[in-house]
Amino acid sequence: MKQHIGLVRHGLTDWNAQGKIQGQTDIPLNETGREQARLLAERLVQETAPFDYVISSGLQRAEETASILADALQIPLLSPVEGLRERAYGLVEGTTPEEREQRWGAGWRKMDLGQEKDEELQYRAVQTLEHIANQHMGSNLLVVSHGSWLAQLYIALFGSDRQGHIGNLSYSILEKRSEGWYPLLYNCMEHIRHLDLTAKPR
């Protein structure tokens, strides 16, 4: 039997709205983020999405998003998985775009400021995906994680052609086949397309 993994980015936070990098700093959803989660929940209920469990990182913005989805779908919310946590961003966590430019210049992304490197995050993301898929073999999972985690997972699995921005409440579906992972749906935002509920660019 083919296994399906739904992948969701958490809802909007105040730091998202301000363009602040959160990383592993534990910032809650704001009311807009909760509304985004409810809109995706409505979509999944209407589509009778065949998920058996919801699972998330241990950061509260992901856990609360996952809880809203699990309640709407009336399926269990499993214990959080540390490997689903966002990229550690080191010194840049909590800074706005203007602050980053002022402190480190436009090339800050290429500097060593204590952030988890792309290849490190790609390895962690793929290993975590494989682990939870194998741990729950035969079940379809809805996984709530974070923007950089998801972006680097897609690059690791499918290459740089999957390098688009992953917005809040982005929804994707992967199918596990004998030859590997296949994308059935990628970075879909239709459930919140009519709302201006977006984060400030970083």
123 is in an annotated binding site: no
CB 19 within 8 A of CB 199: yes
- 162 annotated ligand binder: no
| Token code pair at residue 5 | 């993994």
194 annotated among ligand-binding-site residues: no
Task: Identify the active-site residue in 4, 63, 64, 86.
Answer: 86
| Strand 3-9 with 180-188, pairing | unpaired
Question: Helix, strand, or coil here: 135?
Answer: helix
61 is in an annotated binding site: yes
Burial bucket for residue 198 (CB in 10 Å: 0-12, 13-18, 19+): middle
Q: Is 136 a catalytic residue?
A: no
Selecting among 4, 10, 146, 191, the annotated active-site residue is 10
Residue 70 in marked binding region: no
Per the annotation, the verdict on 116 as an active-site residue is no
12 annotated ligand binder: yes
Binding residues for substrate: 9-16, 61, 86-89
Residues labelled catalytic? 10, 86
Binding residues: 9-16, 61, 86-89
